[in-house]
A and B are shown apart, each in its own frame.
Chain A
């Protein structure tokens, strides 16, 4: 996904060529190629789908305006004229209505929030007073913008206030404005580039899901094997100890939004785990970690093994290590793993972590908040499997239930998330926006189901998507998507059984699935090869003769809520 070049259109009421140039030249993935619209054409471009700018196809658009250029009441307010706040908010609604046109024209659209130059002191001490201060009014129109945009598919607001705050006084240069109608300094545009790219990565399923941390001098000060856990620098009346505690708190806070933690450390496992369990200032406990590899083996190899155990890909990983040599080693050995630079100064660890852009995602589902718990449950399942031995016996002990539900508003976000980030068990790797999926499903003779998988250890969450299209006397399985956390639990066979039953009710003679190979979905091919379907190597199609029954696996119970 990141190898693709993304084409973008920059729509602005000010000269935005500097941002275009910085975006086009920026090496960080994804690579983008942007164009700008002619000066003074914001509203025509938004409103007219036949505008010459739309002759080319774009993956994304960025609509960056000054509030006074698109909200007439705000322009008046900047001159301290009396205004009507309700009328101003109505104008914001109208502007958002114009923005909504972009949902149909591009895959995603970014709208930076409105800012005004910092030298605008406005009413001074009255600035935050409701309906009086510039600051207050600006907040109100931004909040209205955020709320309206949150209901628009594929459109996302970005925090331009943050870019300006990061740059400070140099954010605005009046000379640039008067000489070239350039509203912001390049330092602001550089921050914008980073956030735009992070957003595209998030939207294309490239957000990092797992942080792997080292232990010594990363999670605590000192070497636990030499110093003993009692003498580690962690917490206490010690500013460095406190910095480490805050770093652990920051890591833990990220687990609350669905980012997993793992450990890869060169240590005696027993000694390291004892430190985690016994040190009174440890914020992170063993149950905060989805897994660990603590031994004297090569860290790169350990990372590969840990990631495989967690059924993730290396591209999901962010690796944190205080040692620049280890960081360089991992960057070289595992280029898919993101290895940010960590400062030498430990007091900057927490802020560095919280400033990372690699976890940006376009939405959060309820599953994000319980992801760590899901992985702990998975550890317990694996422990049980080791005891039982045979996979089929083990599966029977799990009491697997699959709940089938239709696509609905409450699960749409999760479905889009799953559709766009699942690689391994994905038959056709269709990537769709909400609008595109809803449009597809609306057509007759198409059906989509979502699958929630549970067992006696817990709820895996909404982890499967199945869609079938009926064409004449044939049924085609279009989407066959399953999260890797439930692969190999007979859910795949259950999905085929559901497709079979639907095809049977539609009276077709044949059910088929066309496999579209990618670099990552060989596990899907391997499943279909064992599925019992007949395979045509020339067309990559798997066929099932509907005269034969496709059974439901006996270790799975299905609950249909159709």
Chain B
């Protein structure tokens, strides 16, 4: 559980960084319900690239493990774990348990 909290903090840190370069109306809210991709998703393609790269870097710094989010075909599916911040945190948590 503590690990999930750490992951959520990392995701929120990445959002803070990303918001520095986004126009006001495009900035992401730091909430588990925030929709990242898919219908009503807040990230465009460039935003997603920036988000994923920064996230993978911070996960590696914190947990000393490399995870690659785009490798998994599930990520690009309709039930993508990138759908919301909450689902993303769960997905990363599971990935870290397996590694």
A positions within 8 Å CB-CB of B: 15, 17-18, 20-22, 24-25, 173, 175-176, 179-180, 182, 186
Contact present for A173 and B21 (CB under 8 Å): no
**A418 CB, min distance to chain B CBs, angstroms:** 38
* Residues in A whose Cβ lies below 8 Å from that of B53: 173, 175-176, 179
- Is B96 an interface residue when CB atoms closer than 8 A count as contact? no
* Residues in A whose Cβ lies below 8 Å from that of B50: 18, 176, 180, 182, 186
**A377 CB, min distance to chain B CBs, angstroms:** 48
Contact present for A21 and B56 (CB under 8 Å): no
Contact present for A180 and B56 (CB under 8 Å): no
Among B21, B45, B49, B70, the residue within 8 A (CB) of A22 is B21
- Is B23 an interface residue when CB atoms closer than 8 A count as contact? yes
Among B17, B22, B70, the residue within 8 A (CB) of A186 is B17
Contact present for B21 and A180 (CB under 8 Å): no
Query: What separation, in Å, do the CA atoms of A48 and B40 have in the docked complex?
Result: 39
Q: Please, which residue of chain B has its CB at the minimum distance from the CB of A19?
A: B21
Asked whether A15 and B46 contact (CB < 8 A) given A175-B56, A176-B53, the answer is yes
Secondary structure type dominating chain A contacts: helix
Q: Please, which residue of chain B has its CB at the minimum distance from the CB of A17?
A: B46
**A26 CB, min distance to chain B CBs, angstroms:** 9
Q: What are 15 A-to-B residue pairs whose CB atoms are below 8 Å?
A: A17-B21, A17-B46, A21-B20, A21-B23, A22-B21, A25-B22, A173-B57, A176-B49, A179-B70, A180-B49, A180-B50, A182-B50, A186-B17, A186-B21, A186-B50
**A227 CB, min distance to chain B CBs, angstroms:** 46
Interface residues of B in 40-94 (CB under 8 A from A): 45-46, 49-50, 52-53, 56-57, 70
* Residues in A whose Cβ lies below 8 Å from that of B49: 176, 179-180, 182
Q: A17-B21, A18-B21 are in contact. List 7 more A-B contacts (CB 8 A).
A: A20-B21, A173-B57, A175-B53, A179-B53, A180-B45, A180-B49, A186-B50
* Residues in A whose Cβ lies below 8 Å from that of B52: 179
Query: What separation, in Å, do the CA atoms of A175 and B53 have in the docked complex?
Result: 7
> B46, B52, B56: which has the most chain A beta carbons within 10 Å?
B46
**A194 CB, min distance to chain B CBs, angstroms:** 13
Query: What separation, in Å, do the CA atoms of A25 and B21 have in the docked complex?
Result: 6
Contact present for B46 and A25 (CB under 8 Å): no
* Residues in B whose Cβ lies below 8 Å from that of A21: 20-23
> A17, A21, A175, A186: which has the most chain B beta carbons within 10 Å?
A21
